[in-house]
């Protein structure tokens, strides 16, 4: 009686072909999440220039340009106020000081007005972070 043998070569070939097919047809997606870490404001305090424009944004979204409060918070009013203060000079540095509770839209409106008018020197102000001391609720190091 002849011995029965099974040839495994075609089976191995099919497994390799299936493996290659699945490797080529599989899409590899890399899930990415935006990790946002806001910078701290521990930089050097810059010296103020003699002529500058300071736009203050209150928590309610009202604007003040060099101490003069605007009648409303619309973009065209802000641009007219900047035009009145700056005249034709677009090289003056502009400082935007916003309240910590001011909306992002209010700050962006001030930046948009500066950009549309052609101001190139734009800065945002921040306050230095408070140190952890027992007086302001921080933990004291022993």
Q: Is residue 107 part of a domain?
A: yes
Q: Is residue 141 part of a domain?
A: no
Statement: residue 36 has pLDDT above 50: no
Q: Kindly give the pairing relationship between strand 94-98 and strand 68-69.
A: unpaired
Q: Is residue 63 part of a domain?
A: yes
- Identify any residues that bridge with 57 across adjacent strands, giving them in sequence order: 63, 98
Q: Is residue 79 part of a domain?
A: yes
The structure's pTM equals 0.57
pLDDT score at 45: 59
- Identify any residues that bridge with 55 across adjacent strands, giving them in sequence order: 65, 96
Statement: residue 87 has pLDDT above 50: yes
List the CATH number of the domain containing 67.
3.30.420.270
pLDDT tens, position by position, 45-55: 555 556 889 89
User: Considering its fold, how many domains does the chain have in total?
Assistant: 1
Q: Once rounded to an integer, what is the mean pLDDT over residues 65-83?
A: 90
Q: What is the band of 141 on the pLDDT scale with cuts at 50, 70, 90?
A: very low
Q: Is residue 2 part of a domain?
A: no
Statement: residue 61 has pLDDT above 70: yes
Question: For tokens 């000081």, what's the residue?
Answer: 97
By residue range, what is the domain housing residue 117? 53-124
Point out the least confidently predicted range of 19-23, 27-31, 77-81. Answer: 27-31
Point out the least confidently predicted range of 8-12, 23-27, 127-131, 137-141. Answer: 137-141
């Amino acid at each position: 009686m002849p011995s029965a043998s099974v040839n495994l070569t075609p089976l191995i070939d099919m497994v390799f072909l299936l493996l290659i097919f699945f490797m080529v047809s599989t899409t590899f997606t890399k899930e990415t999440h935006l990790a946002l870490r806001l910078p701290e404001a521990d930089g050097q305090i810059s010296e103020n220039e003699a002529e500058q424009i300071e736009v203050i944004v209150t928590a309610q979204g009202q604007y003040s340009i060099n101490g003069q409060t605007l009648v409303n918070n619309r973009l065209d009013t802000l641009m007219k106020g900047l035009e009145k203060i700056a005249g034709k000079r677009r090289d003056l540095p502009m400082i935007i000081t916003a309240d910590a509770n001011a909306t992002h839209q209010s700050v962006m409106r001030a930046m948009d007005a500066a950009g549309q008018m052609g101001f190139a020197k734009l800065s945002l102000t921040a306050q230095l972070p408070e140190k952890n001391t027992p007086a302001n609720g921080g933990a004291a190091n022993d």
